[in-house]
Amino acid sequence: MCLYVDDLIFTSNNPTMFENFKNNMVQQFEMTDIGLTTHFLGLEVMQKEEGIFVSQSGYAKNILERFKMESCNPVSTPVENGVELRKNKAENVDPIYFKSLVGSLRYLTCTKPDILYGVGHISRYMETPDQSHLNAAKRILRYIKGTINEGMFYTSSNTFNLVGYLDSDWGRDLNERKSTTRFVFFMGDTSFTWISKKQSIVTLSSCETEYVAANSAVCHSIWLRNMLKYLRFPQENPTEIYIDNRSAIALAKNPVYHERSKHIDTRHHFIREHVKNKEVELISCKTTDQVADIFTKPLKGETFIRLKFMLGMTSLD
């Protein structure tokens, strides 16, 4: 069930339960049944026998038309390899126009996590955008042009195990040299929640960067576990979180306060308690299998497409 101001949308795979709930709501409240819907807040939902396909193709088309990019040439990736963006004090692009573009793209990440890295990157330059920042934003629009009918396909499943992947980029921000935490969680074969957030501190090593990112992912997993328990889908086993940095895993499991980690703030050791209580388990994985890698840096075409489909993205064309 989803509520937005005075609009209510709900669905169920049990027709009897669906009708009973609808009748009870109509009797208790002044409501008008407008029938079946496939479009809600820019989200388009298509029910199929194998599952549910969620996209924002109509909203994406509106963005392209609004910013005069409906006739652009599509590209295979949202971020060009080798392009580095920096802050520029000389503002030569209308910031209102740029903020409007970035805000429109950010809402599109609800069903297109494949553009999350690019949108997050250009979001850092909204105050004083220059032509290079605008070119990067327009490249994302060109990528959307070629993938306008893609979205998330949630297949039917009896497996409700929560699984996470986390990654980070050590010092990739060229202005502040701060890293960015990125993680994604799955239930079944499709991701349902993802986050990209700049870290509040400057880390001194890739191990520390991944450890800080793991702490954020563990916090989010504990919140998800509590929510799933409330929804009567309790997680009996520890939540597996895959990370491609073995040093960070060792630091989370080793309670010894040694010289190499004593500078890390105490609050980032929150992770150890939950590892010890077997609520989460950090598991090493190969970089090639790290799905969250798509959120950390520009990738080559083949790698980008492979990770995009691992997220659960597809097209119904």
Give the pLDDT of residue 261: 53
Tell me if 301 sits within 8 A of 285, measured CB to CB.
no
Give the tokens for residue 161.
């195990």
Give the pLDDT of residue 19: 86
pTM exceeding the 0.75 threshold for the entire prediction: yes
Tell me if 312 sits within 8 A of 154, measured CB to CB.
yes
The superfamily (CATH) of domain 159-311 is: Ribonuclease H-like superfamily/Ribonuclease H (3.30.420.10)
Q: Kindly give the confidence (pLDDT) of every residue in the chain, 317 residues in length, as a single tens digit, with 9 standing for 90 and above.
A: 777 777 788 877 788 888 888 888 888 888 777 777 766 667 888 888 888 899 999 999 999 999 999 999 999 999 988 777 888 766 688 889 999 999 999 999 999 999 999 999 899 888 889 999 999 999 999 999 999 999 999 988 777 899 999 988 876 776 777 888 889 999 988 899 998 887 777 777 777 788 888 888 999 999 999 999 998 889 999 999 999 888 888 877 765 545 555 545 555 567 778 888 889 998 998 888 899 989 988 888 899 999 999 999 998 76
Interatomic CA distance for residues 298 and 204, integer angstroms: 23
Give the pLDDT of residue 237: 92
Give the pLDDT of residue 26: 83
Radius of gyration for the chain, computed over Cα atoms and rounded to the nearest angstrom: 21
Q: Cβ contacts of residue 156 below 8 Å, gap of 6+? A: 50, 51
What letter does residue 150 receive in the DSSP assignment? E
Give kind and range of the element (H or E) at residue 141. Answer: helix 131-146
Interatomic CA distance for residues 169 and 110, integer angstroms: 22
168 CB burial (10 A radius; 0-12, 13-18, 19+): buried
How do the domains of the chain map onto residue ranges? 2-37, 57-150, 159-311
Tell me if 179 sits within 8 A of 168, measured CB to CB.
yes
Residue type, 47: Q
Interatomic CA distance for residues 163 and 280, integer angstroms: 10
Helices (H), 168-279: 206-230, 246-253, 270-276
21 CB burial (10 A radius; 0-12, 13-18, 19+): middle
Tell me if 199 sits within 8 A of 213, measured CB to CB.
yes
Is residue 121 helix, strand or coil?
A: helix
What letter does residue 188 receive in the DSSP assignment? T
Interatomic CA distance for residues 8 and 249, integer angstroms: 44
State phi, psi for 61 to the nearest 5 degrees.
Answer: -65, -40
82 CB burial (10 A radius; 0-12, 13-18, 19+): exposed
Q: Cβ contacts of residue 273 below 8 Å, gap of 6+? A: none
Scan for tokens 């499943």, then name that residue.
Answer: 157
What letter does residue 211 receive in the DSSP assignment? H
Give the pLDDT of residue 257: 46
What letter does residue 170 receive in the DSSP assignment? T
Tell me if 146 sits within 8 A of 43, measured CB to CB.
no
